[in-house]
Amino acid sequence: MAEATAGAPKPGDWALYRRLLAQLAPQARYFFLSLGGYALYSLGVVLLADLMQFLLDSLDGEQPAGGGLLSSITHYFTQGSDYEALDLARTVVPAAIVLLALLRALGYFGGSYFMNHVARNMIHDLRCRLFDRMLLAPGDYFDRNSQGVLLAKITYNVEQVTGAVTRALRTLLRETLVVAGLLSYMLYLNWRLCLVFLAVTPLIALVVTRVGRLFRRYSERIQDSMGEVAQIAGESINAWRELRLYGAQQQQRRRFADASEYNRSQSLKLAKADAISTPVIQTLLASAMAVIVWFALQPDILGAMTPGALVAFLVAAVQLGKPVRQLSSIQSLFQRGLAAAEDIFRQLDQASEQRAGGAKLGRVKGDIEFRHVSFTYPGADQPALRDVSLRIDAGETVALVGPSGAGKSTLVQLLAGFYRPQGGDVLLDGQSVSTVDLIELRAQLALVAQRPPLLRDTVYNNIAFGELAGATEQAVTEALQMADAAAFVEQLPQGLYTRLGADGDGLSGGQRQRLAIARALLKDAPVLILDEATAALDNESERAVQEVLQRVTAGKTTLVIAHRLSTVVQADRVVVLDRGAIVEEGTHPQLVQAGGLYARLYQRELVD
Ligand SMILES: Nc1ncnc2c1ncn2[C@@H]1O[C@H](COP(=O)(O)OP(=O)(O)O)[C@@H](O)[C@H]1O
Ligand SMILES: [Mg+2]
Domains of the chain in sequence order? 11-215+274-349 (1.20.1560.10), 368-607 (3.40.50.300)
Measured CA to CA, the distance from residue 578 to residue 584 in angstroms comes to: 9
Measured CA to CA, the distance from residue 218 to residue 211 in angstroms comes to: 11
Question: Shortest CA distance to 529 belongs to which of 431, 452, 421?
Answer: 452
pLDDT for 61 equals 63
Asked if residue 4 lies in contact with residue 323, where contact means CB atoms within 8 angstroms, the answer is no
Residues shown for the chain: 608
DSSP 64: P
**Identity of the amino acid at 420:** R
pLDDT for 1 equals 32
- Ligand 1 pocket, Cβ-based, cut-off 6 angstroms: 143, 377, 380, 384, 402, 404-410
Give 535's contacts (C-beta < 8 A, 6+ positions apart). 450, 513, 562, 563, 564
Protein residue whose Cα sits closest to atom 18 of ligand 1: 409
The string of DSSP codes covering 315-352 is: HHHHHHHHHHHHHHHTHHHHHHHHHHHHHHHHHHHS--
Alpha carbon distances (Å) from 23 to 80, 112, 563: 56, 18, 52
Sheet holding 423-428, edge to edge: 385-392, 368-375, 423-428, 431-432
Ligand 1 site-directed mutation target among 388, 409, 447, most atoms within 8 Å of CB: 409
528's enclosing H/E stretch is: strand 527-531
pLDDT for 387 equals 93
360-395 pLDDT, tens digit each: 778 888 899 999 999 999 888 999 999 999 999 998
- Please give the distance, rounded to the nearest whole angstrom, from the Cα atom of residue 47 to the centre of ligand 2: 74
Protein residue whose Cα sits closest to atom 2 of ligand 1: 377
478-491 pLDDT, tens digit each: 999 988 888 888 88
**Identity of the amino acid at 76:** Y
Alpha carbon distances (Å) from 192 to 182, 292, 301: 15, 10, 9
- Tally of CB atoms within 10 A around 36: 14
Question: Shortest CA distance to 189 belongs to which of 273, 72, 88?
Answer: 72
- Please give the distance, rounded to the nearest whole angstrom, from the Cα atom of residue 228 to the centre of ligand 2: 28
pLDDT for 65 equals 54
194, with CB counted inside 10 A (0-12, 13-18, 19+), is: buried
Asked if residue 450 lies in contact with residue 535, where contact means CB atoms within 8 angstroms, the answer is yes
251, with CB counted inside 10 A (0-12, 13-18, 19+), is: exposed
Measured CA to CA, the distance from residue 22 to residue 337 in angstroms comes to: 16
C-alpha 155 chain-centroid distance: 6
Ligand 1, atom nearest to 408 Cα: 21
Sheet holding 527-531, edge to edge: 445-448, 527-531, 557-561, 397-401, 573-578, 581-586
Alpha carbon distances (Å) from 360 to 364, 365, 395: 10, 14, 21
- Please give the distance, rounded to the nearest whole angstrom, from the Cα atom of residue 420 to the centre of ligand 1: 14
pLDDT for 109 equals 93
Measured CA to CA, the distance from residue 466 to residue 37 in angstroms comes to: 47
C-alpha 301 chain-centroid distance: 57
Question: Shortest CA distance to 150 belongs to which of 234, 217, 220?
Answer: 234
Low-confidence ranges of the chain (pLDDT < 70): 1-12, 61-67, 80, 82, 302, 354-357
Ligand 1, atom nearest to 379 Cα: 4
Question: Shortest CA distance to 6 belongs to which of 276, 209, 180, 200?
Answer: 209
pLDDT for 357 equals 65
Asked if residue 366 lies in contact with residue 429, where contact means CB atoms within 8 angstroms, the answer is yes
CA atoms within 13 A on the CB side of 424: 21
Assign 3-class secondary structure to 492-518: CCCHHHCECCHHHCCCCHHHHHHHHHH
Helix then strand then coil, % of the chain, to nearest 5: 65, 10, 25
Asked if residue 188 lies in contact with residue 276, where contact means CB atoms within 8 angstroms, the answer is no
pLDDT for 19 equals 85
Ligand 1, atom nearest to 404 Cα: 22
- Please give the distance, rounded to the nearest whole angstrom, from the Cα atom of residue 410 to the centre of ligand 2: 7
Alpha carbon distances (Å) from 141 to 153, 223, 349: 13, 19, 12
Protein residue whose Cα sits closest to atom 19 of ligand 1: 405
Question: Shortest CA distance to 174 belongs to which of 182, 162, 184?
Answer: 182
Question: Shortest CA distance to 577 belongs to which of 381, 383, 327, 420?
Answer: 383
Measured CA to CA, the distance from residue 92 to residue 73 in angstroms comes to: 11
Question: Cα angle at 350 between 344 and 353, to 5 degrees?
Answer: 135
Dihedral of alpha carbons 448, 452, 453, 458, sign? positive
Measured CA to CA, the distance from residue 46 to residue 461 in angstroms comes to: 62
- Please give the distance, rounded to the nearest whole angstrom, from the Cα atom of residue 405 to the centre of ligand 2: 7
- Please give the distance, rounded to the nearest whole angstrom, from the Cα atom of residue 408 to the centre of ligand 2: 5
pLDDT for 64 equals 53
- Please give the distance, rounded to the nearest whole angstrom, from the Cα atom of residue 149 to the centre of ligand 2: 25
Protein residue whose Cα sits closest to atom 11 of ligand 1: 384
pLDDT for 370 equals 95
Protein residue whose Cα sits closest to atom 9 of ligand 1: 410
Report the relative pairing of strands 557-561 and 527-531 from DSSP bridges.
parallel
Alpha carbon distances (Å) from 168 to 11, 171, 212, 331, 514: 22, 5, 13, 8, 52
Measured CA to CA, the distance from residue 480 to residue 484 in angstroms comes to: 6
pLDDT for 110 equals 92
Helix/strand/coil for 387: strand
Ligand 1, atom nearest to 382 Cα: 25
- Please give the distance, rounded to the nearest whole angstrom, from the Cα atom of residue 500 to the centre of ligand 2: 26
Ligand 1, atom nearest to 410 Cα: 17
pLDDT for 2 equals 34
